[in-house]
Structure 1
Amino acid sequence: MALGAFIVIEGLEGAGKSSVMGALKSRLEEHAIRVVTTREPGGTPMAEAIRDCVKQAWPDETVTQQTELLLMYAARSQLVENVIKPALDDGAWVLGDRHDLSSVAYQGGGRGVSLATLSTLRQMTLGTFAPDFTLYLDIAPELGLSRARGRGELDRIEQAGLAFFERARETYLQQIEALPNAVTVDASQAIEKVQADALIALQQFIDNRA
C-alpha cells in the first residue's frame, strides 16, 4: 500500500473522536503504515493560532458567522497544503480529527450559512480535494455535551446551545447518507464498542484498497 490515504473522523462534541483516532492509528501501524495525525481547526502553527482565535470567547465583541466561517477555511487551507497533501504524496496515511464536513454541519446546519456559500469557499480552498474515507461517530447532542462538560469548561463553540447541535447532527446525517465512502458508528455505546466498530470499518476500507 504505497499510496497514501486521507481518513477523517467526524462527529459532535463528546463523540469520542480522539479515542477512536488513537485506536485507528495503532491498527494502521500494525499494518506497517506510516501515519500522520491532524486536527481541525489546527495542525500547523498558523492554523493552531486560528484555532485559539475561533475557540476562545470574545466578551467585548460578537464573533460573526462570516468571521467564524472564514477562519475555519483559512485554517483548513493551511493544514491541507502544508501537512496533509505533502504527507499523502510521501505515502503516509493521514488521520484527521474533522475536515470540511464539520463546516457543513456546524457553520452550515448549526449557524445557517447557505450551502452555496460553503460550496464557494470549498472550491476556492480545497478544489476537488476530499477524504478517501469518512468515519462519522453519531451521538445525541445531550449525551455528547454531557461528556464534553465532563472534560472541563466548554469553549465558545461548545456553548452554542442544544438546538445548534441538533441542527448540526441532522446535517451530518443527511450528508453522510449521500457519501459513498462513509460509515456511521453509534457513538453512544461504551468507548470500547465504539472503537471496535470503528476498527471493523477501517479494516474493510483497507481490504478494499488491497
Structure 2
Amino acid sequence: MFISFEGTEGVGKSTLIASLNKALSAEHDVVLTREPGGTPLAEQIRELLLAPQQDATQQEQMSHATELLLIYAARAQHLDQVILPALSENKIVLCDRFVDASVAYQHGGRGMDKAQIDLLTNTFVAKMPDLTFWLDLPVEQGMQRAKNRGALDRFEQEKMAFFQRIQESYRQLAEQNPQRIIRLDASQCAEQLFAQALTIIQEKM
C-alpha cells in the first residue's frame, strides 16, 4: 500500500508519519520515505531545491522550470529505487509528499501550466498513491510552526500569498479526488490525527 502525506508548511506531517510508522511496523514491513529525496541521489537534488535563496546579486536564481524538472528527476529516481521495489515486495510505503505537491506548489503556488506537470506525471510516474492524507491547517498557523523550527528553507521563505495559493490548490485536488485524498483537520492534537489516520488505513487495508 502506497500512502502519501500532503499539506503546506508546518502542518505536522512528519509527526503523523513517525507515529503511523511505529504503529504499522508492529505487523507490517514499512518503508518510510520523502520527496524530494528518498535515495542518495534524490537527496542531493533535495539540497539544491531547498537551499535558502540568497540575494540575487550573490546567487543565481532557480527558474520555475528548473525547479519542476529537478523535482521530477528526483521523483523518477525515487520511484525506481525505492517505491516500486517496496510495493513489489508487498510493503507499506509512507511518503512525505508526492505528485500532489508538484500540482499544489508548482502549479498553484508558482502558476506553472498544469499541462506541463501532467505531461511529466504521465510520462515518468508509473504509480500514484493508493491513499493520500491532506493535513489542512490555516496557513498562518503552519508558517508560525515552521518559523519556530528554526531557519527557513527556500520554499518556506516565500510570501504568505504563495502558501494561500498552495492551500487552495490542495483543496481543489481533494475535491477532484475524493476516493484517494482524505482531508484531516491538522488543528487537532497529534494523538487525534494519528487515531483518525490509523483507522482509515486499517479500513482501506
TM bucket normalised to smaller: over 0.9
What is the one-letter code of the residue matched to 2:47?
A: D
Q: Which runs of 5+ in 2 are unaligned?
A: none
Cα deviation 1:86-120 (Å, max 9, x = unaligned): 01101111000000000000011000011111111
Q: Which residue of 2 aligns with 1:139?
A: 137
Pick closer, same or farther for the CA change 1:102–1:114 going to 2, 3 Å: same
Q: Which residue of 2 aligns with 1:65?
A: 64
Contact 1:106 1:168 in 2 (8 A): yes
Distance in 2, matches of 1:171 and 1:138, equals 12
Cα deviation 1:50-86 (Å, max 9, x = unaligned): 0000000343211110011111111111101110000
Contact 1:10 1:134 in 2 (8 A): yes
Q: Which runs of 5+ in 1 are unaligned?
A: none
| TM-score w.r.t. length of structure 2 | 0.94
Cα drift, residue 187 of structure 1: 0.4
Distance in 1, matches of 2:138 and 2:124, equals 31
How many residues are matched?
Answer: 200
Please give the secondary structure, in 1, of the residue aligned with 2:62: coil
Alignment of 1:18-29 (within 5 A): 18-29=14-25
| TM-score w.r.t. length of structure 1 | 0.92
Cα deviation 1:145-173 (Å, max 9, x = unaligned): 00011110110111111100000010001
Please give the secondary structure, in 2, of the residue aligned with 1:185: strand
Is 1:56 aligned to residue 51 of structure 2? yes
Cα drift, residue 191 of structure 1: 2.0
Distance in 1, matches of 2:67 and 2:193, equals 31
What is the one-letter code of the residue matched to 1:26?
A: K
Cα drift, residue 197 of structure 1: 2.1
Contact 2:52 2:152 in 1 (8 A): no
Q: Which residue of 2 aligns with 1:189?
A: 188
Alignment of 1:25-174 (within 5 A): 25-30=21-26, 32-59=27-54, 60-127=59-126, 129-174=127-172
Q: Which residue of 2 aligns with 1:175?
A: 173
Please give the secondary structure, in 1, of the residue aligned with 2:85: helix
User: 4+ residue stretches of structure 1 with deviation over 3 A?
Assistant: none
